[in-house]
Structure 1
Amino acid sequence: MKLSRLKTLTTLALCVISGAAPLIADETSLAADRKQIEQLDQLTAVPKMQAAEGFDSTPQLRAIYFDALDWKGKPTKVFAWLGLPAKTEGKVPGIVLVHGGGGTAFKNWVQMWNDKGYAAISIAVEGQIDRRPKGERKEGAYWQRHKWPGPTRQGIYGDSNVPLKEQWMYHAVADTILANSLLRSLPEVDGSKVGLMGISWGGVITSTVIGIDQRFAFAIPTYGCGNLATVENQYGRALGNNPTYKQVWDPMLRLNRATMPTLWFSWPGDKHFPMDKFAMNYGAVKGPYMVSLIPKMGHGHGPPWKKPDSYAFADSIVRDGKAWCRQTSVKRDGRTFSATFESSKPLQTATLISTTDTGITGNREWIESSASLEKKDGKWIAQAELPKGSTAWFINVHSDKLTVSSDYQEANLTTSPSK
């Protein structure tokens, strides 16, 4: 018996014993799948849309469906809320919004961006609408499904053993790109100023899409990121032996193609997406990036909605073509750590966030301590003394209620220099 055949049978036997779905892939098929994913950038035609009946819509804020890719030979549609600012003069910027696990197309998220002067479309990427199921709710059924659904998420890339075009992530990425094509086609919208924001699983989708669709003017991956196969939590356990994730889906495979400005938005206590992995993602992008790590922010849809940071970042990109603030360099000399920033807004204070703990970053205790801040030769220099035994750290600078972070640092890890 050939060795490759023996390995295949052994893998199948182990899967039967463990109850896991077998993940068998060869280099040729994985390469073909990667190419098919990259070809999703061709979804530039405007998808047909129709009104979603029975929702409290207005001419400015509408519930809609738009046509998406076929799934298992059947046509699918995506439910979304599509909104425009109340008053516009000329064309307005826009943003595509992608929910996280347990979420849907959120009407109020669209309204928040409309209030900031943006056209916005919030999409539901699991074949659902924004209504709870009637009667007794089945486990995991947070929202009603409509008549034309695509696949739902199966755990953490749990459908990696089915054909690529039947996988949830394939459709979620396609839905996001199609939403971009739809939003930028509206006569009220400036197609050159359409951004993307995704939260948690939506952040994973965003991190994936920005390596494929270069039409986005900016992107805001929130919490979610790639490089998760070695995380010491549920992601690493699910993905450590998943070749489809590691060689086909990991956003890190394509982040060097992401040319648009990005804001990487999270908090050091996040238990799902660790800071070291998050840092490797923004260190890999080709375009300029900005980081905002806000202590005690929490994980969910609400916390980033309520913070002003995503809106201020988007405003600076569509107005000035660059982030209002960004780190230009970091330096460590013994226990002295400094970070230099360029900012179009005045900075008032700086804070060192550090830990002496080890293990996954979301389980560590993070301590805030004072840092100095001075303006010199047009740049802002923040500096602090690291506590003895520090294992990880970064500096936050503040302009009123806005927060910008230096690159996350570890004693044995340094991200690539800012671009």
Structure 2
Amino acid sequence: MTIRIAAIVFLTSIIYLPAQSQIKGTLWDVPAIYKTPAYETISSDSAIGIVYTGLNYRDTTQRVFAYYATPGTLSGNREGDHHLPAVVLVHGGGGTAFREWAILWAKKGYAAIAMDLRGNGPGRVHLENGFVEPGGKTPYFTITPSLEDQWMYQAVADVILAHNLLRSMPEVDSNRTAITGISWGGIITSLMAGVDDRYKAAVPVYGCGYLYENSAMKKELDLLATADRQTWVQQYDPSQYIGKAGMPVLFVNGTNDGHFYLDSYAKTYQLVRSRNLSIKVGLKHNHRYGWENEEVAGFINSYLNHTPPLAIIKKIAIKKNRVIASVQSSVPLSAAALHYTTDTAALLKDKQWQTVKVTVDKQMIQSPLPPAGTLLWFLTVIDERGMQTSSEIQFQPLRQ
């Protein structure tokens, strides 16, 4: 990679958020959050390395590293970048500013920004005046006397400021932005959907709310003092925010995700008015498996570029001992399936699932009833593009 150090660029025009922004009245309603952050370019390649200014942290201005990529940065000629749709990419636990993730979206015709929320720069080396992780471990749940010392507060602010910066880029259409995040980035994306209404679409992958009820994170929350636990939930659990989401949200998860269980997941998506689901049997959990789901780009494209939307499975009905569901899809459907589990394993993440191909014709699914003893079940369809969407998870025994 060619490294070219540039001076800090202080933007002369400060861009403020729309007056209706949901940020008003939240923890992040501070003057600096409504400005386009100053930034410096520290490397120039297919993805440009930048460092932008965050909020105050430890009596100084925090610095945040990110990669920024566009079709023009890939080709080496940015003169052709005009009115680009744009996406904010939020990494998960143990992650960083993934250069290849930003490039993946640039290849799709987007401007993309992928920031590091852990205080690190290129090569995961700590950035001067970046957030400090005690012992190199992200303090996800720390509640400190100073709000500015809390990781979740700073991480959310870093994402808002990255969005401000992305929208300020001259080649970006500021009215066509979306956000997607993986795992802990999915938690932040879920929160952000109810905090920053400038996005036109949001896709949390794996992440959800109600972490204090049933998730791998519940153990960590339960270690907190009662007052700190209540404070964290009130301040940061996505269930406190996502119900205010005005943009459409696609929820992507696996049936056996070891971090975000299906019951908390279902409670989260039910809070969102405009939602779609893509739940996959056996979907593995890591950054690459997360961002390789083509449904993410398919969903975002449909709202930012007006491409055909993902199929939506509508309300399920039981008629004459069969499952019937209508499907709304502008793309022909190629397959449908019933997924169910009769496994009585205590943990949702450990249950074994069965899949049965079912009939889909003229945008109508017809399926036999799941067998006796079924505990959870749902339907899926796949369109001719290979994109899969799901019905809502059915937790209750069938009643004819």
- What secondary structure, in the 3-state scheme, does the structure 2 residue paired with 1:369 have? strand
Asked if 1:393 is matched to 2:385, the reply is no
| Other-structure match for 2:270 | 283
**Letter in structure 1 aligned against 2:217:** Y
> Cα deviations across residues 132-180 of structure 1 (Å, max 9, x unaligned)?
xxxxxxxxxxx32111212448667431244322210001100111111
In 1: Cα distance, 2:133 partner to 2:309 partner: 35
In 1: Cα distance, 2:146 partner to 2:114 partner: 27
* Match of residue 194, structure 1, among 177, 180, 185: 177
| Other-structure match for 1:16 | none
The TM-score, its normalising length taken from structure 1, stands at: 0.80
- What secondary structure, in the 3-state scheme, does the structure 2 residue paired with 1:284 have? coil
- What secondary structure, in the 3-state scheme, does the structure 2 residue paired with 1:104 have? coil
In 2: Cα distance, 1:237 partner to 1:333 partner: 42
Return 251-260 or 300-309, whichever deviates more. Answer: 300-309
Alignment of 1:90-169 (within 5 A): 90-131=82-123, 143-152=124-133, 157-169=140-152
> Cα deviations across residues 166-197 of structure 1 (Å, max 9, x unaligned)?
21000110011111111111111111111001
* Match of residue 361, structure 1, among 348, 355, 379: 348
| Other-structure match for 2:4 | none
- What secondary structure, in the 3-state scheme, does the structure 1 residue paired with 2:122 have? coil
- What secondary structure, in the 3-state scheme, does the structure 2 residue paired with 1:39 have? coil
Asked if 1:372 is matched to 2:359, the reply is yes
In 1: Cα distance, 2:31 partner to 2:350 partner: 38
Alignment of 1:149-228 (within 5 A): 149-152=130-133, 157-228=140-211
Aligned-CA RMSD value = 2.5
In 2: Cα distance, 1:279 partner to 1:322 partner: 26
| Other-structure match for 2:231 | 244
> Percent of aligned positions with the same letter in both sequences?
32
Answer whether contact 1:372 1:384 (CA < 8 A) is retained: no
In 2: Cα distance, 1:48 partner to 1:170 partner: 20
> Cα deviations across residues 181-237 of structure 1 (Å, max 9, x unaligned)?
111111111111110011001011111111111101111100011101121x54222
The TM-score, its normalising length taken from structure 2, stands at: 0.84
- CA 1:234–1:156 in structure 2 vs 1: closer, same or farther (change >3 Å)? farther
Q: Which runs of 5+ in 1 are unaligned?
A: 1-33, 132-142, 414-419
| Other-structure match for 2:27 | 37
Alignment of 1:294-373 (within 5 A): 294-320=280-306, 323-332=309-318, 336-358=322-344, 359-373=346-360
> Cα deviations across residues 259-301 of structure 1 (Å, max 9, x unaligned)?
1111101110101101111111111023x11111122220001
**Letter in structure 2 aligned against 1:255:** I
> Cα deviations across residues 295-327 of structure 1 (Å, max 9, x unaligned)?
222000111222311111111111238843223
Alignment of 1:261-276 (within 5 A): 261-276=248-263
- What secondary structure, in the 3-state scheme, does the structure 1 residue paired with 2:305 have? helix
- What secondary structure, in the 3-state scheme, does the structure 2 residue paired with 1:309 have? helix
* Match of residue 40, structure 2, among 50, 69, 75: 50
Answer whether contact 1:198 1:222 (CA < 8 A) is retained: yes
* Match of residue 367, structure 2, among 379, 383, 396: 383
Q: How far apart are residue 74 of structure 1 and its match?
A: 1.5
Q: How far apart are residue 361 of structure 1 and its match?
A: 1.8
Q: How many residues align?
A: 361
- What secondary structure, in the 3-state scheme, does the structure 1 residue paired with 2:257 have? coil
- What secondary structure, in the 3-state scheme, does the structure 1 residue paired with 2:34 have? coil
